[in-house]
Amino acid sequence: MKTVLFLCTGNYYRSRFAEIFFNWHAPQRGLKWQATSRGLGLDPCNQGPLSLHTILRLRDLGIPLEGGQRLPMSASLRDFENADHIVAVKATEHRPMIERRFPTWPERVEFWEVHDLDCAGPEEAMPCLEREVVALIGRLAEEK
């Protein structure tokens, strides 16, 4: 089983949604990959394990919250080393964080540009994230 690591800032909204969404869809495509997610700068103000936006969108899509009850987790070097593919969900936000904390890794990270709540509401960001994850699953399925 191969692993994709999704990264965002708080591991509370975007990366957690990508992880659960990926893990729901990948087996349906016969993909022997599993997703995990971590944060690059956890926010102690986040309440609980998951953003309400993530919970509501997954519920709307009929996707169970498997693995959704854990608290956000900070990225470690081991997470990078154990991943077969790494995605940071917003290049302009996360590239500098990765360059500071994991300076030898940016060239191995796929960067997307999915906005956080400070730039876009969930009605815009979530469908964008879904499209990116579906496209990733498609590329990984072609590599089989």
Q: Which CATH class is domain 2-142?
A: alpha beta
Which residue stretches of 49-121 are H helix? 52-61, 77-82, 91-101
CA dist 44 and 10 (Å) reads: 9
Contact 133, 42 (CB under 8 A): no
Question: Using CA atoms, how far apart are residues 46 and 52, in angstroms rounded to an integer?
Answer: 10
Task: Give the pLDDT score at 122.
Answer: 76
Predicted local confidence at residue 111, as pLDDT: 97
Q: Domain coordinates of the chain in residue numbers?
A: 2-142
**Quick one: average pLDDT of 69-78?**
94
Cβ atoms of 21 and 130 closer than 8 Å: yes
**How would residue 11 be classed by pLDDT, with cut points 50, 70 and 90?**
very high
- Cα–Cα dist 24/64, whole Å: 8
Mean pLDDT within 69-74: 91
Residue 9: how many CA atoms within 13 Å on its side-chain side?
A: 17
**pLDDT confidence tier of residue 67, bands split at 50, 70 and 90:** low
- Phi–psi pair at 141, nearest 5 degrees: -65, -35
Q: Mean per-residue pLDDT for 10-19?
A: 93
Tokens at residue 54, please?
């993530």
In sequence order, what are the beta bridge partners of 90? 113
Q: What is the pLDDT of residues 100-144, one digit of tens each?
A: 999 999 999 999 988 776 777 778 788 999 999 999 999 999 886
pLDDT at 129: 95
- Whether residue 19 contacts residue 51, with contact meaning beta carbons closer than 8 Å, is answered with no
15-61 pLDDT, tens digit per residue, is 999 999 999 999 999 999 999 999 999 888 788 889 999 999 999 99
Please, are residues 36 and 118 in contact by the beta-carbon 8 Å criterion?
no
Classify strands 33-39 and 2-8 as parallel, antiparallel or unpaired.
Answer: parallel
